[in-house]
A and B are shown apart, each in its own frame.
Chain A
């Protein structure tokens, strides 16, 4: 497909379980971003990759959150020992070039995570 693809679209997990969310960026896009969007809120930055290098993880809320992009393409966001407050939509975005000002970020449709 031409756009950013995220899977699964919906994920329900019990509190304490581990989850893994996948992002397929647009082919050739160097930069990849993860955001968390709680209900009724705007997206909040989690982490940023340039190719396979994770250059910024300042937005990850705790050490239970881990992201990787080992080959500089597909990325996985993993949440360990999930808590109810982790329930949110997780958005992935990619942009063409190295992070320069005003580079448009193309968003996927997100994974809606519900923790019971």
Chain B
């Protein structure tokens, strides 16, 4: 079973600060996805990274896929209260291209 470990589990910061959260595995993934989930809602896809070493930017969010495709990071610049939520990484596992394995997530709270 391919596992994804996310750290930190909880993160509470002030508005305007920068932060990085991590998603690590001992297994190689063909791709990784990052989702944000708000309370009472389903996960919403933010980005998919496919190529080792790839960097993708989405406004203040920067996503990086490790060279060996075993890890990924999400960096947020100048966090805003609207960034609050559960950040989940996920990747296809079990030899399939559709069965997603999710990490437990990082619960981010951005305080005003």
Binding site for B on A (CB under 8 A): 4, 31, 33, 40-45, 48, 56, 58-59, 91, 93, 95, 99-110
Contact = CB atoms under 8 A, between A and B. Distances in A.
A45 B42 contact: no
Contacts of A101: 30-31, 92, 97
Contacts, number: 62
Interface residues of B, number: 26
Interface string B86-112: 001010101011111111110000000
B44 A45 contact: no
A42 B97 contact: no
Given A101-B92, A102-B31, A45 B99 contact: yes
B63 to A, nearest CB: 14
A58 to B, nearest CB: 8
